[in-house]
Amino acid sequence: MKFRAAILTELKQPLVIEEIESGPLRFGQVLVKIHCSGICGAQINEIEGAKGPDKFLPHLLGHEATATVQEVGEGVTSVKPGDRVVCHWRKGVGLQGPAATYTSKRFPHINSGWVTTFSEYSVVSENRLTRIPPDFDAEAGALFGCAATTAMGVLNNNAKLGIGESIVILGTGGVGLNLVQFAAMAGAHPIIGVDLHDHKLELARKFGATHTINSRGINLVEEVRKIVGAAGADVAIENTGLADLIEQAYEMTAAQGRVILVGVPAKSARHPSIYTLPLHFQKVLTGSEGGGCRPEVDIPKLVRLHQAGRLKFDGLVSKRYRLDDINEAIADLKQGRAAGRCIVWMDESPSA
């Protein structure tokens, strides 16, 4: 089958849009039609080579989308043709098929992973798909592939946020805004959003932040302690991966506070430096792998919350793009022009 896709052919360069071709499905694989895909900071890191040289070039990208199943490979039982699904990067139920590969006129071999979503169709491993209702909102479904489920897992599984606890969220993009609204649902107080961009902070207030701080040119730790008190915050969640902010997140939390790292520093960047003694006395500093999300459990919960009107996504999608404009979307996200998530539509949808 032939369809168009955005291909990373060289690090730190724009993606290339061209027609690719997939072969017959293998054991555990599923062919899906992508309706819309979110763009995550993880893809920015891949394009920029944050983890170092990329031995898989050329390859496809993307790990959160809403799609419809077209065809299933041998052994697949959890989804069938016609099912509406969320594509996600965390393992769910079902088989883990082999990573897909493609060809094009220019490239005899294009790598992929168990899930990629920057294309009109995609071959995805069964365990990276979770069914949702057939009429479920496509943009909300795409957010369930990473942004919303990561935020839910970080608060529930990593931070174990309690009612009345104070929380600081450093970086209020797609994941950060969901952290804000889930913290509000959990009864946290105060909820402090931190960012360099005032338009993002304005959106954070709409999603439930009780306080916001533009961190440019200030003593951030001092400003946070003015709000939460001299003892420090109960929880700090760092989304940017910047060493300075990781250090400040550690400093602004209480003696027995929890610091959760969602963002990952670039391999070539300066690494954080901290005084580790508090870690011996119940202070927590830990990294999060997608919040420990279990897609088959957590996505149905989010579906129910959304259907009940408890989750709001108005304004969370900052701008919508076509596949041909994906490099513009990536630039908007990278430069901070997008307050929330950028959504790339593959369909001729009126939502785009």
Task: State pLDDT tens for residues 227-256.
Answer: 999 999 999 999 999 999 999 999 999 999
- Rounded mean pLDDT of 77-105? 97
Least confident of 17-21, 182-186, 334-338, 343-347: 334-338
- pLDDT > 90? residue 193: yes
Q: How confident is the model at residue 155 (pLDDT cuts 50, 70, 90)?
A: very high
User: Which one of 3.90.180.10, 3.30.420.280, 3.40.50.360, 3.30.70.1560 gives the CATH number of domain 2-137+313-345?
Assistant: 3.90.180.10
20-35 confidence digits (pLDDT tens): 999 999 999 999 999 9
CA 125 – CA 28 distance, rounded (Å):
6
CA 60 – CA 22 distance, rounded (Å):
13
- pLDDT > 60? residue 333: yes
* Domain range annotation of the chain: 2-137+313-345, 148-291
Say which residues have a Cβ less than 8 Å from residue 304's Cβ, sequence separation at least 6.
none
CA 144 – CA 331 distance, rounded (Å):
23
pLDDT of residue 214: 97
- pLDDT > 70? residue 289: yes
pLDDT of residue 336: 84
Residues recorded for the chain: 352
Q: Tell me, what DSSP letter sits at residue 154?
A: I
**Dihedral angle of Cα 341, 343, 349, 352, to the nearest 10 degrees:** 70
* CATH dotted code for 148-291: 3.40.50.720
Sheet holding 284-287, edge to edge: 211-214, 191-195, 167-170, 233-238, 253-261, 284-287
Q: How confident is the model at residue 349 (pLDDT cuts 50, 70, 90)?
A: low
* pTM (2 d.p.): 0.93
Q: How confident is the model at residue 348 (pLDDT cuts 50, 70, 90)?
A: low
Scan for tokens 């599923």, then name that residue: 30
Rounded percentage of the chain residues whose pLDDT exceeds 90: 89
Q: Kind of pairing, strands 341-345 and 121-125?
A: unpaired
CA 170 – CA 152 distance, rounded (Å):
16
